[in-house]
Amino acid sequence: MKICFVADNRNRKNWGCRATSIALKDLLSSKYTISDTIYGDLTFSYDFYSYTGEKFQNSFKFKFFSRIPFVYKFFFRNIASFIDFKTEKSLSSFFKIKSDFEPLKTLDNKIQSADAVVLNGEGSFIFSLPERYDTKFYLFIIALAKHYKKKIFLLNAMFSPGASLEINQDMICEAKKILSYCDIITARDPLSFQFFKEHLGDKVTFVPDALFSWKKVIPQYLNCSKDFPLVGIPTPELDSYWKDFIPYNQYICISGSSLAPRHKGKAISTFINLVTELKKKWNVVLLATCAGDSFLEIVAKETSTKFIPVETNLFFGTSILAQSQVFISGRWHPSILASLCGTPCVFLKSNSHKTRALPIMLDNPLKTEFSCFPNTDDIQDISIEVEHSIANKHQISNLYKKNIEQYCQIIENFKLD
């Protein structure tokens, strides 16, 4: 069976997107032939350059009018945009313009040439207000695959309300109709499985996130940040990295949350307070595990704290987590990476139910989900949980290990046919 793999997100500045895309693709390629790939630059959001391609951008017509900002803004900016709230309209618009733009024509050919389409669901099905672009794009791909009579597998997906538990009912209705075209749908966590059953139908199976399969991959990289600290320096090398990149012998790690970038100023001020307080007891390393965590670099400078940028090597970043005493985060996949290394996690709220789901999956004895804009009381409680996690690290690590073994077994036994 030849598969077109949709939403390989390793080209995004996001540790989780990179890691789970690789993990899921490796699992599939061990059993099936992946004939083509559609990357996240097309699926995540509309980008003029990714959608139109070099052929259009190099044309005389575009080059001439692009020199006139007014004309470009109103006539060319959305020229290749076709995604709509209504999936059938997306499909109709796509067929009208696909021949004009090489990337869209290529996308169409990849779907046509495959026997089956696999969508890497990740965190795309968050039914928030307003609706997410990637959710609409996924529904379009499913409809396109259905049009060409291909098998359709939506794997590794989260299905969740938005951060404030609001549910976009219009999007639910649209998704319920289109998702019925899928041959197999897997939910990556029990809360997503439950949400799907309550709102979207019965055609769903619980298969833990593909990243849990990295239990077999990670051990060989556990010590690289300690033994070879400069390996993690991204390119281009900044002078400051050579001086400050090496982490402490003992430290705790903090990353951001998918909610924090929505209020960057508030995130900076509250994280400065959090880091300042925690540094009274522990060494702290700040990790930007996603482009949205970039505000942590400002926090690092303001608090004289070591900082690891999102561009660092993925396995080096995992090793940083492995050597950490505790990981404080509102990020799903980085928290899985930490858990695979036996590092206890303290969870911050996110844009979905993911940081409520993971403690349940791991049997984490500390299931509190703290604000991603922690106030004074939150900071005191986080400090208490960090202290408890360090004191009980061996017990927590064993709980993680037991559940991860179970999840690996489920993942290995899962098949598309």
Neighbour-count burial of 388, counting CB atoms closer than 10 A to its CB (0-12 exposed, 13-18 middle, 19+ buried)? middle
Backbone φ and ψ of 202, nearest 5°: -105, -10
Q: How many CB atoms lie within 10 A of CB 302?
A: 14
> Tokens 């993925």 map to which residue?
314
Q: pTM for this one?
A: 0.94
Residue 214: in which H helix or E strand, if any? none
**C-alpha closest to that of 301 among 280, 283, 330, 275:** 275
**C-alpha closest to that of 6 among 187, 151, 218:** 151
Backbone φ and ψ of 47, nearest 5°: -130, 120
**C-alpha closest to that of 330 among 182, 169, 202, 163:** 163
Asked whether 267 and 260 are in contact (CB, 8 A), the reply is yes
Q: Quickly list DSSP for 244-293.
A: H-SPPSS-EEEEEESSGGGGHHHHHHHHHHHHHHHTTTS-EEEE--BGGG
Altogether, the residues listed in the chain come to a count of 417
**C-alpha closest to that of 86 among 127, 143, 167, 161:** 143
Asked whether 252 and 327 are in contact (CB, 8 A), the reply is yes
The pLDDT value given to residue 329: 97
Q: What Å distances lie between residue 59 and 55, 65, 88, 94, CA to CA?
A: 6, 10, 31, 21
Q: What Å distances lie between residue 305 and 33, 243, 245, 248, 275, CA to CA?
A: 46, 13, 11, 11, 8
Written as tens digits, the pLDDT of the chain (417 aa) is: 999 999 999 988 999 999 999 999 999 999 999 999 999 999 999 999 999 998 888 887 777 777 777 767 677 889 999 999 999 999 999 999 999 999 999 999 999 999 999 999 988 899 998 899 999 999 999 999 999 999 999 999 999 998 878 899 999 999 999 999 999 999 999 999 999 999 999 999 999 999 999 998 899 899 999 999 888 888 777 787 777 777 788 999 999 999 888 899 999 999 999 999 999 999 999 999 999 999 999 999 999 999 999 999 999 999 999 999 999 999 999 999 999 999 999 999 999 999 999 999 998 876 679 999 999 999 999 999 999 999 999 999 999 999 999 999 999 999 997
The pLDDT value given to residue 310: 94
**C-alpha closest to that of 354 among 186, 127, 190:** 190
Tokens of 60: 């005389």
Neighbour-count burial of 72, counting CB atoms closer than 10 A to its CB (0-12 exposed, 13-18 middle, 19+ buried)? middle
Tokens of 167: 């549910």
Tokens of 100: 């004009």
